[in-house]
Copies of this chain bind each other. A is one copy, B any other.
Amino acid sequence: MPQVLAAFLQEAREKIEQHLPEYIEGLNAPTVLKEAMTYSLKAGGKRLRPILVLATLKSYGKPLSLGYQAAAAIEMIHTYSLVHDDLPAMDDDDLRRGKPTNHKVYGEAMAILAGDGLLTYSFQLLASANMLSTDMKLELIRRISQAAGPAGMVGGQVKDMLGEGRELDAEQLQQIHHHKTGELLSVSVEAGAIIAAVPEKEKIALREFGKQLGIAFQIKDDILDVEGDVRELGKPVGSDEVNNKSTYPKLLGLAGAKEKLLSHIAEAKKCLYKTSMDHTLLIELTDYIGTRTK
């Protein structure tokens, strides 16, 4: 990993890990609810969405601290979606990232409420981000709620459910992924751009960057499930095959999927060159997403 990127990721992750639980601790809410919310927030993962918020800010020369609330809010929305997705009525998963899922620890009722709590609180956090202007906060809420709601992530979950067990083509697969995961990734970049107060034209380019990055991220995920290293990934490989899931390697072949990955990585970078930012960091991050081994 290039040094600029490595240094940035370390700084960004430290700030994210520090602030996420802090925002919950201060809440005047039942202890067990705060515990359940924090449990899944702390379960970690790549923190890709908050990193994209902060990386975009950094690329426009703005202080990272302006983006902490937006980064945390988006990570809370991502986390709530995983908590609800793991429920017995949905994917019925007992483990996530090697740890028992929320409902396995706190019970189903509490997991539903912890998800509801994270989602609702994310908007309170956005509305209370004191270092941002009223207009910025409102634009963040408008765009994030759209990306996360029925026309975005929630709609994508529904499409994914409806597509299960059916033969999908590459176009349909991409549509589902775009709504289910791509829109929240894309709005993470856009959130950084909103806070950096960039012109509308650049926001459009960055929205497209986020879209391309999201597709690339998913293709790489599918490829790693075929040829990744179990020890590096920390999860079993070949599970898509076992679960008979529609994936890019299955639809396009492994070579075809790799080619598609490269083309979306290239498209993503092109979008960055249309902006006035210092591209170094996001170019490195994009390349890293295409070449990561975990």
* Residues on A facing B (Cβ under 8 Å): 24, 27-30, 32-34, 37, 80-81, 84, 87-90, 103, 107-110, 112-113, 115-117, 119-121, 123-124, 126-128, 134-135, 137-138, 141-142, 145-146, 148-151, 154-155, 157-159, 161-162
Q: Does B150 contact A120, Cβ atoms closer than 8 Å? A: yes
| Cross-chain contact of A34 among B123, B134, B150 (Cβ < 8 A) | B150
Q: Smallest CB–CB gap between A7 and chain B, Å?
A: 35
Q: Does B151 contact A116, Cβ atoms closer than 8 Å? A: no
Q: Does B141 contact A123, Cβ atoms closer than 8 Å? A: yes
Q: Does B32 contact A150, Cβ atoms closer than 8 Å? A: no
Residue of B whose beta carbon sits closest to that of A28:
B151
| Cross-chain contact of A154 among B103, B120, B149 (Cβ < 8 A) | B120
Q: Smallest CB–CB gap between A120 and chain B, Å?
A: 4
Q: Does A90 contact B117, Cβ atoms closer than 8 Å? A: no
Query: Given that A30-B159, A138-B127 are contacting pairs, would A154 and B117 also be in contact in the complex, using a CB cutoff of 8 Å?
Result: yes
Q: Does A154 contact B116, Cβ atoms closer than 8 Å? A: yes
Q: CA of A116 to CA of B24 in the docked complex: distance in angstroms? A: 20
Q: Does B113 contact A87, Cβ atoms closer than 8 Å? A: no
Can you spell out 22 A-B residue pairs with CB atoms less than 8 angstroms apart? A27-B150, A27-B151, A28-B155, A29-B158, A30-B162, A33-B155, A34-B150, A80-B116, A84-B116, A87-B89, A89-B107, A89-B108, A115-B116, A116-B119, A117-B149, A120-B148, A121-B149, A124-B142, A128-B142, A137-B138, A138-B138, A138-B141
